[in-house]
Amino acid sequence: MPYENDDRIVMSLDAGGTNFVFIAMQANEEIVDPVTLPSHATDLERCLNTLREGFTRIREAITGNPVAISFAFPGPADFPRGIIGDLVNLPAFRGGVPLGPMLEREFDLPVFINNDGDLFAYGESIAGFLPYVNSLLAEAGDPRRYTNLFGVTLGTGFGAGIVRENTLFLGDNSCSAEIWLIRSKVDPTTCAEEQASIRGVRRFYAQQAGLPFERAPSPRDIYDIALGEKEGNREAARAAYRLMGEVVGDALANCITLIDGLIVIGGGLAGAHSLFLDTAVAEMNGAMQSPEGDVLPRLDLRTYNLEDADDRKAFLRGEHRDVPIPGTSDTIQYDPEKRIGVGLSRLGTSKAMAVGAYAYALHALDR
């Protein structure tokens, strides 16, 4: 899908609990200055008026006519029909609000609304991590190419999206890739999001340092403490991110068992990858035991940390060998190692979601 050369314009939105940021996309790039307005999260009429105003101002700023509106919005929601359900960060949306149909009537344009994790993964599959890895393979002379991508975001929550062969997988109930609900390895009585998130890092630090949760510093401060750049309990800081990595790795292992593809990580906590990504990959490459005591690999795949130079070289090198074709003097190249890579967003989380929203709208229109 060569949308980097497409001249069609799509209006989009980055929806936060405090502010809405309105943009316009063309050829995978923003083409006007963003418009930022308060979301009015507790007042539905003011919130809807903000959406009207924001998209109106963007439409007035662009040269040419937009072909669609496409953006990410929090769930739960019936995304294909554009109906928003009971949101936590935007409590004004209670009982079901048909946001998509409202905007379609207001602007006389098709409207596409999706989950942020889905659009993040879609953007990275089109113009980010997936083409980046395939370009590395091409440069290394490896004929292997990846077509499936699992994207996760680590921040306020733990979100995800699945892309299979350039197609975003949404599920029958807009409930695909709900990784946040996987049981936490560290505390199986709760979900992984309680440990793989901002509050999870703070909670782990508080536990390790013997502090009440309310006194735990921000994840950024915990990161600086772990690096010795800020005063605090360094061992507790490093343990907090290591424990988060263990939870993330276990959740990714559960998911990738069913998907078999590359994994890209985004979100605010991704910047601390040096403190948790090795642990997550080690968890995925760990072992289990059969009832008879036999050691079994955690995955049928070898996982590589593509942010680590040595791991990246090993991933690209593989185990290529030439094997003879029986009854002939010819050989064929064979690589017996099943492998995947885990790495960071190449676009940045916000841009990946914007590219994903743009591509999703154009792909839907082209179909």
Can you tell me the mean pLDDT for 303-321? 95
pLDDT greater than 90 at residue 85 = no
Evaluate if residue 263 carries a pLDDT over 90: yes
Domains 3-115 and 129-346 share a fold: yes
| Residues 135-171 pLDDT 10s | 999 999 888 999 999 999 999 899 999 999 989 999 8
Dump pLDDT digits (tens) for 151-160. Answer: 999 998 999 9
How many angstroms separate the CA atoms of 44 and 204, rounded? 36
Please give the helix or strand (H or E) that residue 55 lies within, else none.
helix 44-61
| Residue 269 DSSP label | G
The pLDDT, as a whole number, for residue 271 is 96
**Structural domain spans, the chain:** 3-115, 129-346
Task: Read off the tokens for 227.
Answer: 């690096």
The three-state secondary structure class of 281 is helix
Q: What is the rounded distance in angstroms from the CA atom of residue 331 to the CA atom of residue 323?
A: 5
DSSP 8-state class, residue 285: T
Is the confidence at residue 94, as pLDDT, over 90? no
Whole-number pLDDT of residue 1: 61
Instruction: State the pTM of this model.
Output: 0.94
Asked whether residue 204 carries a pLDDT value surpassing 90, the answer given is yes
pLDDT at 367: 85
Contact of 65 with 7, CB cutoff 8 Å: no
Name, in order, each residue with C-beta under 8 angstroms of 226's C-beta and a sequence gap of 6 or more: 234, 237, 238, 240, 241, 272, 275
Count of other CB atoms within 10 angstroms of residue 48: 18
Q: How far apart are CA 97 and CA 51, in angstroms?
A: 13
**Are the beta carbons of 75 and 174 closer than 8 angstroms?**
yes
8-12, 85-89, 178-182, 296-300: lowest mean pLDDT where? 85-89
Q: Give the mean model confidence (pLDDT) for residues 281-288.
A: 96
- Rounded to a whole number of angstroms, the CA Rg of the chain reads 22
Q: How far apart are CA 151 and CA 159, in angstroms?
A: 8
Sequence length of the chain is 367
Cα angle value 81/85/90 (rounded, 5°): 125
How far apart CA 88 and CA 76 sit, in angstroms, is 9
Over residues 98-132, the pLDDT tens digits come to: 999 999 999 999 999 999 999 999 999 999 999 99
pLDDT mean over 290-307: 94
Q: Which two tokens stand for residue 162?
A: 């699945």
Q: What is the mean pLDDT of the chain?
A: 94
The CATH code for residues 129-346 is 3.30.420.40
Encoded tokens for 52: 């009207």
Alpha-carbon distance values, 274 to 245, 295, 308 (Å)? 10, 29, 9
User: Could you tell me the two tokens for 218?
Assistant: 């921000």
Q: Is the pLDDT assigned to residue 17 strictly greater than 80?
A: no
**Strand arrangement of the beta sheet that strand 148-154 belongs to:** 167-169, 158-164, 148-154, 262-266, 339-344, 302-305
Do the strands 97-98 and 83-84 form a parallel or antiparallel pair, or are they unpaired?
antiparallel
Mean pLDDT, to the nearest integer, of 17-23? 89
- In the CATH scheme, what is the homologous superfamily, with its name and number, of domain 3-115? ATPase, nucleotide binding domain (3.30.420.40)
Find residue 69's DSSP bridge partners: 11, 111
